[in-house]
Amino acid sequence: MSDYLIGDIQGCFDSLQALLKKIKFSTDKDRLFFLGDVVNRGDKSLTTLRFIKDLGDNAKMVLGNHDFHLLACSLGGLKPNSKDTFVDILKAEDRHLLIDFLLQQPLVIKHKEVLLVHAGIPPSWGENTVFKQSSIVEQHLQSNDVGAFINNMYDNRPYTWSNDLNEMDACRYTINACMRMRFCKADDTLEFDHKMNYDAAPEGFKAWFLHDNRVLKETDIFFGHWSTLSKVGQTHVYPMDQGCAWGGRLSVIRLEDRQNFSVNC
């Protein structure tokens, strides 16, 4: 059995199928782990989400910011914008099953001593904090007040983590860190405006994985979200988003031997 970790698909179903064919994926012996943003921007979000859901025990995923945006448009007060390509999901007969499936997905997965997250993990967070805070968010996503909860999550604040944050502020920070973070300060202050490579950090900030004080710097972390990353060369860090939705590549890494496979998109 092989475990494969796949970067941001964003509705590019045909590229996903080409990649699975390349690795000779078999539901009899392989498992897929999706690093979030399985929908939006590509032209087959509905087909992609149905496919992942139907894989059952052969697939696991973490939530990405585009997946969360779909939830907000389905359950919260948001309307899809002109760039969103998941309206087919919102109109589908099985939309409730698909949305319920997303609501059951975690923000972070630990598998065979590695961590999977969509965007990143704040420097000061160890595993206990990561799973404590993500678990609180997941409980809200699976509660009866999920619509109101999601509506309360759409804000950049608080920018900085503190153990003294109230529960809603702590959830908002957790979502922003795990699903949206690229650059931050050593004190966990987040920054959302800059999206270029790690060497183009705004003053006072670094890529989240480059801080010397990072608690989990000896833990292998696989993540997506940051399609402009290149030539990282940082040990224990595995960026997997190679911009499939933007004409780049869709990539997968086999966990056992860290071998990469990719297809042009």
How many whole angstroms separate alpha carbon 76 and alpha carbon 3?
A: 34
Q: Which pLDDT tens digit goes with each residue over 63-72? A: 999 999 999 9
Q: Which pLDDT tens digit goes with each residue over 39-55? A: 999 999 999 999 999 99
Q: Which segments within the chain are labelled E, that is strand?
A: 2-6, 30-34, 59-61, 108-111, 114-117, 183-184, 190-191, 206-207, 221-223, 237-239, 249-254, 259-264
Confirm if 222 and 116 have CB atoms less than 8 A apart. yes
How many whole angstroms separate alpha carbon 8 and alpha carbon 227?
A: 9
Query: Side chain identity at 43, as an amino acid letter?
Result: D
Query: Is 129 exposed, middle or buried (CB count within 10 Å of its CB: 0-12, 13-18, 19+)?
Result: middle
How many whole angstroms separate alpha carbon 166 and alpha carbon 254?
A: 39
Alpha helices by DSSP H, listed for 76-182, are 87-91, 95-103, 127-141, 146-151, 167-180
- pLDDT for position 76: 87
> Which helix (H) or strand (E) element contains residue 69?
helix 65-75
- 31: β partners: 3
Q: Which pLDDT tens digit goes with each residue over 114-132? A: 999 999 999 999 999 999 9
Q: Which pLDDT tens digit goes with each residue over 137-179? A: 999 999 999 999 999 999 999 999 999 999 999 999 999 999 9
The pTM is what?
0.97
SS3 category, 46: helix
Q: Give the pLDDT band (50/70/90) at residue 77.
A: confident
- pLDDT for position 174: 98
How many whole angstroms separate alpha carbon 18 and alpha carbon 153?
A: 36
Give the chain's domains with CATH numbers: 2-264 (3.60.21.10)
